Structure 1
Amino acid sequence: MTEHPDHGFLTEPEVTPEVRASYDSDVADHGYVMNLSRVWAHSPAAHDRLFELLADLARLGGLTFRQRGILVSAMASTAGDSYCALAWGGRLATEAGDAVAGSVLHHDDAGLEPADAALAAWARAVTRDANATTAEDLEPLRAAGFDDRQIFAITAFVALRRAFSLVNDALGVRPDRQLRDDASPTVREAVSFGRAPADRPS
């Protein structure tokens, strides 16, 4: 069996000025170049446009960092994406506490605030089977104070985050070892799905 690098099945592209800028941004933000960035280095512009759109949707939806963490963690755990589950589960634990992160990743929303539970449930519904949603599924979001424009933005945000995860997962990208090592025991225990983290630091 062929052994593939931690950044997946593709060869790493030539380091152009655009790729270097992407890598430098990772080092500034995280202290290392993420495995997924070596895949998206095949088109840094596509990565940047995607994340600009995600930022626009987050603003349109009025989403806080905590709420984005809930949406991505719920989406990733439903989709079986270990990379985003570790990354955003860890961020959510730092922002809202281990109990919240663990509940979202385990699909156990009983202890969550109503708005958090509504966001997590909708992200799972969109990810699990978008054709199975009903108008009634939106009621918890409306009860939590989200209007229709925000609900559109939330839904598009989840869908595009899912698309990002699909690219990474399909091309064999393994979560960075640092994400696993930096995550709390609660988050590490909850993320028992998807590709295993890399054996060595990125």
Structure 2
Amino acid sequence: MGAIGFLSMPELDDHAKRIFDEDVEDGGYVMNVSKLWAYQPTTMIALFDLLRQASSPHGLDARQRTILVAACASAFGDSYCSLSWGVRLAAATDEATAAGVLLGDDSGLNTEERAMAGWARKLARAPNQTTEADVQRLRDAGISDSRIFAITAFVALRLAFAIVNDALGVPPDAEYRSNAPTAVLNAVTFGRPFQD
């Protein structure tokens, strides 16, 4: 039956099969995270619905969400999401900017995006050490309190997803070896390694 991370592959229900089919349609293969979440595919679907609820109605566009995930995942040390979202960020910006965000260099971003990336890293590293001054920096970058809450909820939910994947040993998809830009691959020197 095989294994995914530290667990054996679960039996697939109709929800899991649908997720697998969507993966193949979107990327040409079934992602390792989808294999793990086949244990509770409806939970993953609900989590992604929550992520959309937290971000979309509050003006967080696709580029901003990509920056937030790349920044928080790399600060958290999650190789899987760093590679996945680093590839997306390279497509939305360029290879150097994406690698920079993964390495903590936000010079390729605008003022608002730099503030968001910095906040995402603080949440990933030590959320109990944020200060009112940190929140004020977001306001000074033009981000409203309602968007600050939305950003925080979005990043926290992404971290919850990463914690499950990392704790249960899910390696990055081998496909990233060939489809991730070299600078993104070189920036991700942390977290779970590829599994041969």
Shared fold, TM over 0.5: yes
Counterpart of 1:167, as a letter, is V
2:7 to 2, 5, 10: 10
Which residue number in structure 2 is paired with residue 180 of structure 1? Answer: 177
Are the structure 2 counterparts of residues 23 and 100 from structure 1 closer, same or farther at C-alpha, using a change threshold of 3 Å?
same
Which residue number in structure 2 is paired with residue 154 of structure 1? Answer: 151
Q: Does 1:44 align with 2:29?
A: no
Which residue number in structure 1 is paired with residue 50 of structure 2? Answer: 53
Q: Distance in 2 between matches of 1:180 and 1:113?
A: 29
Q: Distance in 2 between matches of 1:168 and 1:129?
A: 20
Q: Distance in 1 between matches of 2:11 and 2:71?
A: 35
2:95 to 95, 98, 102: 98
Q: What SS class does the counterpart of residue 42 from structure 1 fall into? A: coil
Q: Does structure 2 retain, via aligned residues, the 8 Å contact 1:102–1:186? A: yes
Q: Distance in 1 between matches of 2:122 and 2:8?
A: 35
* Displacement after TM superposition at 1:140 (Å): 2.6
Q: Distance in 2 between matches of 1:60 and 1:28?
A: 27
Which residue number in structure 1 is paired with residue 167 of structure 2? Answer: 170
Which residue number in structure 2 is paired with residue 23 of structure 1? Answer: 20
Q: Distance in 2 between matches of 1:183 and 1:133?
A: 33
Q: Distance in 2 between matches of 1:61 and 1:123?
A: 16
Q: Does structure 2 retain, via aligned residues, the 8 Å contact 1:60–1:149? A: no
Q: Distance in 2 between matches of 1:88 and 1:194?
A: 15
* Displacement after TM superposition at 1:163 (Å): 0.6
Q: Does 1:145 align with 2:142?
A: yes
* Displacement after TM superposition at 1:111 (Å): 4.1
Q: Does 1:88 align with 2:85?
A: yes
* Displacement after TM superposition at 1:180 (Å): 2.8
Q: Which runs of 5+ in 2 are unaligned?
A: none
**TM-score normalised over the length of structure 2:** 0.95
* Displacement after TM superposition at 1:179 (Å): 1.9
Q: Does structure 2 retain, via aligned residues, the 8 Å contact 1:77–1:85? A: yes
* Displacement after TM superposition at 1:57 (Å): 1.0
Q: Distance in 2 between matches of 1:70 and 1:140?
A: 17
* Range with bigger deviation, 163-172 or 20-29: 20-29
Please give the root-mean-square deviation of Cα atoms over the aligned residues, in Å: 1.3
* Displacement after TM superposition at 1:28 (Å): 1.1
Q: Does 1:136 align with 2:133?
A: yes
Which residue number in structure 2 is paired with residue 72 of structure 1? Answer: 69
Q: Distance in 1 between matches of 2:177 and 2:138?
A: 32
- Percent of pairs with identical residues: 50
Q: Does structure 2 retain, via aligned residues, the 8 Å contact 1:74–1:120? A: yes
Q: Distance in 2 between matches of 1:70 and 1:25?
A: 24
Which residue number in structure 1 is paired with residue 124 of structure 2? Answer: 127
Residue-pair matches, total: 195
Q: What SS class does the counterpart of residue 177 from structure 1 fall into? A: coil
Q: Distance in 1 between matches of 2:137 and 2:108?
A: 15
Counterpart of 2:65, as a letter, is R
Which residue number in structure 1 is paired with residue 104 of structure 2? Answer: 107
Q: Does 1:192 align with 2:189?
A: yes
* Displacement after TM superposition at 1:139 (Å): 2.2
**TM-score normalised over the length of structure 1:** 0.92
